Structure formats: C-alpha cells, structure tokens
C-alpha cells in the first residue's frame, strides 16, 4: 500500500507511532521531528524517513505544506520490500538536491490538482520513493563515499563558516581536483558543494535563532551571509520562514 497526501502539520507538538513507514517532505515551510530519539527538521532541503512502529514526535513551524507518503508492506513485491527495508532501516533526514526538489514540486502540484485519483497519487509517490532510494543507495554514490572524508569536510566548513568558502579549497581539503570533488560530493551527499554550504549556514543560523539572543545582523555574519537581508532572503526561500518569525516561534 502506498498513499500520497498533502498535509499541513499543526504547530502543536504531537507524539504517536503507527505500523506503516512514512516519508515526510516539505513543499512549503518546515517542521521539527524526533524519531526514536533522533532529532531533525523537514524543510525544502531535507526530508524525514520514519520507520514503521517507531515512536516519533513532530510539530509544524508556522505555515507549512507537506507531501507525505504512507507505506504499508502489505501486498508489496519482494523487490519493493528490499527497497523499503533499506530506506527505513533507521530514522533518517536525507538531504534533497535541486533536481529532487523540482520533482517534489511537480508531484505536489499534481496532487493538489488531481489528488482524488488514487492511481496518480500512487504513481507519483512511487517515483519520489525510487528517486530518493537511488540518491541514497545508488551504485555511483557507494563509490563516491569511499573517496570522501565527510567528517573532515564538515569540520573545515564549521571552522570557517563566517567567511566565504570556495569549492576549490574544499577540493584541496579532500585532496581531489575541483571537477572530481564536485561530482563525487554530489553523488555522496545528494547536494552540490554550494547547496551543502548554504544548507549548513542556514542550519547554523536557525540553531542560533532558537538558542541564543544574538541580534540578526550578528547571526548573519557568523553564518557567512553578507548581510541580514541576505540571511532573510535565503531563509524565506529555503525554509519558508523569516528569521524573526523563526525566533518568535520558539
């Protein structure tokens, strides 16, 4: 069974469990999840995989619109069972690249228009599920992971987050040519280096907004944005909220 649906998640926190797997993706806005003690957020750049029977808490953050896939293993082919077993072995918050975001936007528009057609909903959900599986477990990605020390790259990015970081210097950290680094990074992470840098800056800014009283201009500078306006524009575009709105929700 595969059900694809659109939903707005309540800003009030909820906690429950269900016997089917669930993939939650954002069309607009964001939501916070905690699945079996593993916390993360759903936004345009990140989804959430909730294994069946896993206790989880969630809450929408302001206005949001989610595309949710409910996946029951009943009447599922052996091939699809293997796919579900890989995807939902553990709670995950996979990064979503620009191509996947475009596919997600298309699926959301079709569901909004023809969501009453169950055959279309299942087909769209199946495409999204397989596209995500390929990004996480495709053969090219497996080869790329072996050649990248992601922990070392993350540490370098965090250390230098307040300034401009080029792909060339990240390639030097990884001991690869810029062209090889760009290709391998996208295969292993699912985002280009530029998209990953932006996501890291936004994640850090969101954490400072939630956990510190620092003024917005200071947070923008510490996270590598050229101005408070640049931070606001990026956060509105990719997270669906302004910094002031995000801080006000806490």
Domain boundaries, the chain: 2-137, 144-248
Q: What is the pTM of this model?
A: 0.66
Burial class (CB in 10 A: 0-12, 13-18, 19+), 196: buried
Fold type of domain 2-137 = Jelly Rolls (2.60.120)
Crossing angle (nearest 10°) for helices 118-137 and 78-87: 60
Q: Which residues pair with 3 in a beta bridge?
A: 70
Fold type of domain 144-248 = Arc Repressor Mutant, subunit A (1.10.10)
Coil, helix or strand for 4?
strand
Q: Which regions of the chain does DSSP assign to beta strands (E)? A: 2-7, 14-16, 21-35, 38-42, 48-50, 56-71
Tokens of 199: 């996501």
Q: What is the pLDDT along the chain (250 residues), one digit of tens a residue?
A: 789 999 999 999 899 889 999 999 999 998 999 998 888 889 888 999 999 989 999 999 888 999 999 998 776 777 778 888 889 998 999 888 888 989 999 999 999 999 889 999 999 999 999 999 988 887 544 444 456 788 889 999 999 999 999 999 999 998 888 888 888 888 777 788 998 999 899 989 988 988 899 999 999 999 999 999 999 998 888 777 788 887 876 5
Q: Which residues pair with 90 in a beta bridge?
A: none
Query: Where do we find the tokens 């269900």?
Result: 18
- On whether the CB atoms of residues 128 and 25 are closer than 8 A, the answer is yes
């Amino acid at each position: 069974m595969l059900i694809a649906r659109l939903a707005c998640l309540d800003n009030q926190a909820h906690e429950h469990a269900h016997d089917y797997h669930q993939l939650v993706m954002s069309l607009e806005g964001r939501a916070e999840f905690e699945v079996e003690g593993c916390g993360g957020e759903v936004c345009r750049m990140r989804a959430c995989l909730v294994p069946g029977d896993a206790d989880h808490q969630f809450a929408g953050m302001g206005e949001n619109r989610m595309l949710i896939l409910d996946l029951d293993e009943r009447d599922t082919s052996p091939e699809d069972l293997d796919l579900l077993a890989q995807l939902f072995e553990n709670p995950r918050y996979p990064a979503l690249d620009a191509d996947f975001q475009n596919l997600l936007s298309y699926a959301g528009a079709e569901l909004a228009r023809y969501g009453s057609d169950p055959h279309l909903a299942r087909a769209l959900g199946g495409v999204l599920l397989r596209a995500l599986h390929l990004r996480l477990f495709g053969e090219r990605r497996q080869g790329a992971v072996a050649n990248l020390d992601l922990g070392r790259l993350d540490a370098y990015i965090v250390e230098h987050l307040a300034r401009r970081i080029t792909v060339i210097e990240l390639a030097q950290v990884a001991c690869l040519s810029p062209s090889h680094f760009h290709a391998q990074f996208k295969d292993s992470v699912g985002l280009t280096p530029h998209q990953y840098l932006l996501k890291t800056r936004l994640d850090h800014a969101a954490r400072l907004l939630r956990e510190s009283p620092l003024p917005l201009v200071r947070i923008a500078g510490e996270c590598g944005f050229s101005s408070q306006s640049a931070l606001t524009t990026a956060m509105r575009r990719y997270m669906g909220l302004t910094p002031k709105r995000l801080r006000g929700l806490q």
